[in-house]
Structure 1
């Protein structure tokens, strides 16, 4: 259990169960202040919490439920929101889980502040692991289609292709890649130093020699930009660090051009599946990719097994024998 994890199943206020009345909008603003300054969360994460709160408020408005105080949100309301996301909005399982976890974290904060007697977003009635979606990885022809569609004659294209190649070869998360500085690349050992990760733990991610060469070429182009920040992936028109929203816009263009649907995280899934198919083991996959538990990587093992069988059919030694 990490420093941020606690048991959040049936939290109760000690004593007579009294709690402070707090307006929900004021409580939410207080929560945003907390995660911004006390927890120092990234801007993208804070934005996601704001959006998830807004989605919940839109649901309340849609069903005609007026909520003024935090303690008016009960378990029945939470259950109905889960059903609404699933049946009415037809949201993907991953999206429902993400929104629910966000609200659960918010209300846990309200519980700790004494605004509610218990957290209504308990897991007993919402199975966050229900119907988990299969791992969506990219096939070789899809990756080639994506990479070959990028115009590397432009600075933006070179940066985009280098970023996608880094996501694929090193298996890093998109925020980890965007936080990289030039000094984080160890070209002597072909390693990337990840300082800021999802698990708040630094690590080294190995990279291929081809990627190392590509990044060296990128740095040469970066060096021509005056007054640039020391980031690895930058905007070549003004030298600022590339942002997640800018990456999303580029991905939308590539998806439209290639007809291949993918997200930045698709390359992390692809990295893991390909790694196991071609002989990698779970222990080194966890170490290189920054996964903390065996459970987190076992899903890739389930995907890679049938692929490995297909690889054997193609590359079995007996296929090389002649009668």
Structure 2
């Protein structure tokens, strides 16, 4: 027997539809509607992909395609317990999946697919405050020391490290930079709205040292004729995986085993150094491209040694009586 295609009245202005749900609608069908809606929000492809991935995790736990009438709050509570205790996932990972599924179920309730606001009763779990790793100046010098910048790819990777530290860009933003986004004379890189996580264009400044390296690198790669800034050895746009792998390999060669050598660690490090050197958190927020100051606070977590060093420089007593 062919399944009847359910007809429903879509909610207006975000309010719950007043039409009673009469026909069965499967979890898959509801999710298809949800993703059709999310695609109208101009989200980044990566964000859309994560919704699909997290939905597959939920389906894998449930083991079957449920209906709008059979899904319950207990299903989601059991799923959270399964992730925490059976899979032993970190609370931060669990919370990412919870947030995407809450958005999905909230949509189902708003659209009238389900009768109860299940999303209001399962929320992110408490997670210990994450201490973000950062490099020391010695670490960075070690990394640069193992790079053979006589090679074209080695020099490129050296420039990448300088740009990551100087601009605090995300890896997705780095590989999307085009040559015409770089203003060497003005001393900045313009990140296009379509390439940023927040879908907002922003300008990131460059130091004199990085400008000098970029100028040399751009001259060396000019003959490739490619629009992108960072290229593979044969002149094509470099991808995120290649940058991550190269940095990981340099970390092993440099003997840095106590922290992850990744693009994101450079972002944390650059943010911390910015504040340690006297930068204010408000300009840092703009450079990082964060809309929420709480995220900036996470990026500038200091070690006890960092705090002591800062205190010695700015101690109220020292400012009055001298050191």
TM-score, normalised via structure 2 length: 0.78
Contact 2:189 2:206 in 1 (8 A): yes
1:180-219 to 2 correspondence within 5 Å? 180-196=177-193, 197-219=196-218
Partner of 1:224, secondary structure, is: helix
User: Structure 1 pair 256/115, CA: closer, same or farther in 2 (3 Å)?
Assistant: farther
Q: Secondary structure of 2:302's match?
A: helix
On the 8 A contact 1:170/1:205 being kept in 2, the answer is yes
Residue matched to 2:302: 303
Which ranges of structure 2 fall in alignment gaps of 5 or more residues?
1-13, 319-323
Give the Å deviation of 1:221: 2.6
User: Is the contact between residue 27 and residue 67 of structure 2 (CA under 8 Å) also seen in structure 1?
Assistant: yes
Q: Which secondary structure does the structure 1 equivalent of 2:174 belong to? A: helix
Counterpart in the other structure of 2:9: none
Deviations 1:29-68 (A, max 9, x none): 45445545x334333333322222222222223xxxx333
Q: Distance in 1 between matches of 2:189 and 2:304?
A: 29
Larger radius of gyration: 2
> Are the structure 2 counterparts of residues 222 and 74 from structure 1 closer, same or farther at C-alpha, using a change threshold of 3 Å?
farther
Q: Which residue of 2 is the match for residue 47 of structure 1?
A: 49
Shift of 1:128: 5.1
Q: 3-state SS of the aligned residue for 1:261? A: coil
Whole-angstrom CA distance in 2 between matches of 1:177 and 1:13: 41
Structure 2 residue matching 1:69: 3-state secondary structure: coil
Asked if structure 2 preserves the Cα contact closer than 8 Å seen for 1:277 and 1:305, the reply is: no
- Which residue does the alignment assign to 2:156? 159
Q: Give the deviation of 1:170 after TM superposition.
A: 1.0
Matches within 5 A, 1:1-323: 13-15=16-18, 18=21, 21-36=24-39, 38-61=40-63, 66-70=64-68, 72-118=70-116, 120-122=118-120, 124-127=121-124, 130-196=127-193, 197-226=196-225, 228=226, 230-237=227-234, 239-257=235-253, 258=255, 259=257, 260-303=259-302, 307-313=306-312
Residues 17 and 217 (structure 1), Cα distance of their counterparts in 2 relative to 1, 3 Å cut: farther
Contact 1:21-1:115 at 8 Å conserved across structures = no
CA offsets per residue over residues 274-321 of structure 1, 9 Å max, x none?
Answer: 1112211112211222222322223345536761323555999x9xxx
Q: 1:107 to 1:280 in 2, by over 3 A?
A: same
Conserved? CA contact 1:20–1:116, under 8 Å: no
Q: 1:247 to 1:29 in 2, by over 3 A?
A: farther
Counterpart-to-counterpart distance in 1, 2:91 and 2:300: 21
For 2:96 and 2:159, locate their aligned partners in 1 and report how far apart those are by CA, in whole Å: 29
Q: Which moved further from structure 2: 145-154 or 212-221?
A: 145-154
Which consecutive segments of 4 or more residues in structure 1 shift more than 6 A? none
Q: Give, in whole Å, the separation in 1 of the partners of 2:161 and 2:19.
A: 55
2:3 aligns to what? none
Q: Which moved further from structure 2: 183-192 or 139-148?
A: 139-148
Question: Any gaps of 5 or more consecutive residues in structure 1?
Answer: 1-10, 319-323
* Structure 2 Cα separation of the partners of residues 170 and 41 of structure 1: 23
Contact 1:19 1:114 in 2 (8 A): no
- Check the 8 A contact 2:166/2:207 in 1, yes or no: yes
- Aligned-pair RMSD on alpha carbons? 3.2
Q: Deviations over 1:46-101 (max 9, x none)?
A: 3322222222222223xxxx333355443222222222222222222332222222
Relative to the length of structure 1, the TM-score reads 0.78
The verdict on how the C-alpha distance between 1:75 and 1:12 changes in structure 2, with shifts beyond 3 A counting, is farther
